Amino acid sequence: MHDNQDTGGLRQLPFMGVIYVVAEAEKLGFYNGHPDWCNLGQGQPEVGEVQGAPPRLQAVTLRPEDHAYGPIHGTVELRQRVAEHYNRLYRRGRRSHYTADNVAIAAGGRLALTRGIFSLGPVNVGYQLPDYTAYEDMLGAQMSRLTPIPLRTDEKAGFTLSAARFEQAARDFGLQAMLLSNPCNPTGRVIQGEQLSQWVGIARHQQCTLLLDEFYSHYIYDGAGNPGQRPVSAAEFVEDVDKDPVLLFDGLTKNFRYPGWRLGWVVGPKAMIKCMITAGSSVDGGPSRMVQRAAHEVLAPDAADQETSALRQCFARKRNATVSALKELGVRLPWEPEGTFYAWGALDRLPEALADGQKFFRAALQHQVMTVPGEFFDVNPGKHRQGASPLRQWMRFSFGPPHDIVTRGLQRLNAMVKDHA
Ligand SMILES: Cc1ncc(COP(=O)(O)O)c(C=O)c1O
């Protein structure tokens, strides 16, 4: 993955995850929006008009104060709006509620997460396998201070960490922090209801700070593939918003389909948010004011509810189309997506030439279809684990693109498999 150019005092980091997929596809002529390519590797949702959703925002006006620095952790107006969003969705009738002081805004989800990890002390931090590729570098970059502890899940465990397993690990390893995406990218599994309540309780009793990446909190489906009734967030199970050690990361990237706006946030106890503000001041200079003003509009209660329920309808249809097409072409889906816009499938029943993530990926590129090999999600900070990944026969298929592109991509994969039969 490295070329041999002299980079002087700079280190050459390999491309990872979706970025690697895109770089390989570009070598074959792909560019974003290319009419002949189907990007089923895509980590972003479709960004155009969706039936039943409010019209896409078309304009934002610059104000004189926008030319200046804004507050490092976001404007008080937007922080207040985000707090109200959580109180409205998850904290009705609860004794404690989030305020602007419980929220920090950052320019995108990865930056918010980076700030969170940057703020951790010299602790053992648990993370789940498989999980979101970007965690590898976020954790790896802080290993002079942090000790990342992997907790692997597998097909038998439903690719989910049970609350009991979390509790055991928290005790055995003295975890003072635990990072995971829920709903999970790439597996589409969701910890919810009683299990999620137990997770929050364990975090509280073990004093283990949960860094919960809830970027897909509104992409929820029931077992039959119907749109879920409501979003999922640990905010529902927090007892005291200033005491329970729970940091929630979310933003406009997925749930509001504005990935290019670069707007993310973290919600949690005031004292922890304060630590992250201090860390933020050296990591970045704070988010842009005009984007925050636009975000305020997006999070207006009626508009927000209209958008998120329309997206669940739209993505549930694509989920079901993806699941049936993948099954038809022989991909095994032991756990159908209950969240996110990804299907996580095993290739072990495919013809030998395709029964491996890398081989499948390369072959699909020849058909101008992008997919992501499962081993990319075998997060490995510092590259300390050696040898072949147990995820090498798994693949992530995205139904982020518009329906017609998803369908076309799956048809091409079907033809590819038939060619190999
Ligand atoms: C699990 C998860 N968290 C966070 C993000 C962050 O998104 P961004 O930095 O684009 O806002 C992503 C995007 O792919 C994701 O999949």
Q: Domains in the chain, start-ordered, CATH in brackets?
A: 17-51+313-420 (3.90.1150.10), 64-304 (3.40.640.10)
255 lines ligand 1 (CB under 6 A): no
What's the pLDDT score for residue 64?
A: 95
Instruction: Tell me the CA–centroid distance for residue 297 and ligand 1, in Å.
Output: 21
Residues in Cβ contact with 217 at an 8 Å cutoff, skipping those fewer than 6 apart = 183, 231, 232, 233, 250, 255
DSSP 8-state assignment for residue 221? B
Residue nearest atom 4 of ligand 1, based on CA coordinates: 109
Atom of ligand 1 nearest to the CA of 264: 11
Q: Is 108 in the pocket of ligand 1 (CB under 6 A)?
A: yes
Kindly give the distance from the C-alpha atom of residue 416 to the centroid of ligand 1, in angstroms, as a whole number. Answer: 30
For residue 262, give the ligand 1 atom closest to its CA. 11
Could you write out the DSSP letters of every residue in 70-96?
--TT--HHHHHHHHHHHHHHH-TT-S-
What is the separation of C-alpha 97 from the centre of its chain, rounded to a whole number of angstroms? Answer: 25
Q: Cβ distance 179 to 266 under 8 Å?
A: no
Cα separation, 289 vs 68, whole angstroms: 9
In the reported structure, the alpha carbon of residue 353 is separated from the centroid of ligand 1 by a whole-number distance in angstroms of 32
Write down the H helix ranges in 55-214. Answer: 76-90, 109-119, 135-140, 163-172, 193-206
Give the count of beta carbons closer than 10 Å to the beta carbon of residue 297: 13
For residue 3, the model assigns a pLDDT of 55
Q: Note the pTM of the prediction, 2 decimals.
A: 0.97
Q: Is 371 in the pocket of ligand 1 (CB under 6 A)?
A: no
Half-sphere exposure of 382 (CA within 13 A, CB side): 13
Q: Is the CB of 213 under 6 A from ligand 1?
A: yes
Task: Give the mutation target among 215, 248, 372, 377 for probing the ligand 1 site: most ligand atoms within 8 A of CB.
Answer: 215
Q: What is the pLDDT of residue 281?
A: 80
Q: What is the pLDDT of residue 387?
A: 93
CA atoms within 13 A on the CB side of 50: 26
Pocket flag, ligand 1, residue 183 (CB < 6 Å): no
Distances (CA, A) of 244 to 104, 196, 200, 271: 17, 14, 8, 11
For the Cβ of 251 lying below 6 angstroms from any atom of ligand 1, the answer is: yes
Atom 11 of ligand 1: nearest residue by CA position: 109
Residues 360, 105: Cα–Cα separation, whole Å: 39
Question: 326 vs 218, 219, 341, 347, CA distance in Å?
Answer: 24, 20, 14, 10
The reported pLDDT for the residue numbered 6 is 84
Contact 193, 49 (CB under 8 A): no
Round to whole Å and give the CA distance between 351 and 328. Answer: 14
Between helix 17-27 and helix 357-366 the angle, nearest 10°, is 40
For ligand 1, mutation pick of 139, 213, 257, 266 (most atoms within 8 Å of CB): 213
109 CA → ligand 1 middle, Å: 5
**Would you give per-residue pLDDT tens digits along the chain (421 residues)?**
455 678 899 988 777 788 899 999 999 999 988 999 999 999 999 999 999 999 999 999 999 999 999 999 999 999 999 999 999 999 999 999 999 999 999 999 999 999 999 999 999 999 999 999 999 999 999 999 999 999 999 999 999 999 999 999 999 999 999 999 999 999 999 999 999 999 999 999 999 999 999 999 999 999 999 999 999 999 999 999 999 999 999 999 999 999 999 999 999 999 999 999 888 788 888 999 999 999 999 999 999 999 999 999 999 999 999 999 999 999 999 999 999 999 999 999 999 999 999 999 999 999 999 999 999 999 999 988 999 999 999 999 999 999 999 999 999 999 999 999 8
CA of 4 to the centre of ligand 1 (A): 31
For ligand 1, whether the C-beta of 110 sits within 6 Å is yes
Token pair, residue 55, equals 């019209």
CA–centroid distance, 258 to ligand 1, in Å, is: 12
Which of 20, 247, 254 to mutate for ligand 1's pocket (most ligand atoms within 8 Å of CB)?
254
CA distances from residue 5 to 10, 12, 14 in whole angstroms, order as listed: 11, 10, 13
* 383 Cα–ligand 1 center, Å: 22
CB of residue 132 inside a 6 A radius of ligand 1: yes
Q: Hey, whose CA ends up nearest to atom 14 of ligand 1?
A: 43
Distance 332 CA to ligand 1 centre (A): 26
User: Strand pairing of 369-370 and 372-373?
Assistant: unpaired
CB neighbour class for 251 (10 Å; exposed up to 12, middle 13-18, buried from 19): buried
pLDDT at position 136 is: 95
Residue 259 CA: nearest ligand 1 atom is 10
Contact 315, 337 (CB under 8 A): no
The verdict on the CB of residue 253 being under 6 Å from ligand 1 is yes
